[in-house]
């Protein structure tokens, strides 16, 4: 997983937020889960875990309705 891959997924979330907030929220949850999993299990030495996490958290700046149940 790279920062560029994460940025592309954030861009997809941004595009989806304009059409379907629920789908965007699901995509955001999946992105955050995937980044955490990568950092926890696959991150080889030297991986910028903090940088990857910060890229993923950029999705929180996208304004759309987030519903939790």
Alpha-carbon distance 51 to 1, whole Å?
12
Alpha-carbon distance 20 to 65, whole Å?
10
Residue 13 near residue 20 (C-beta atoms within 8 A): no
pTM reported for the whole predicted model = 0.89
pLDDT digits (tens, 9 = 90+) for 5-18: 999 999 999 999 99
Spell out the domain ranges in the chain: 3-61
Alpha-carbon distance 28 to 48, whole Å?
20
What is Dmax (Cα atoms) for the chain?
39
Provide mean pLDDT across the span 22-42: 93
Question: Could you tell me the pLDDT band of residue 68, with boundaries at 50, 70 and 90?
Answer: confident
pLDDT of 67 strictly over 90:
no
pLDDT digits (tens, 9 = 90+) for 35-63: 999 998 876 778 899 999 999 999 999 99
């Amino acid at each position: 997983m790279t920062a560029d891959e994460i940025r592309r997924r954030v861009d997809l979330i941004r595009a989806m937020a304009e059409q379907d907030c629920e789908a965007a929220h699901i995509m955001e949850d999946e992105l955050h889960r995937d980044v955490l999993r990568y950092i926890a299990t696959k991150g080889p030495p030297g991986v910028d875990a903090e940088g990857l996490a910060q890229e993923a958290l950029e999705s929180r700046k996208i304004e759309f309705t987030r519903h939790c149940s």
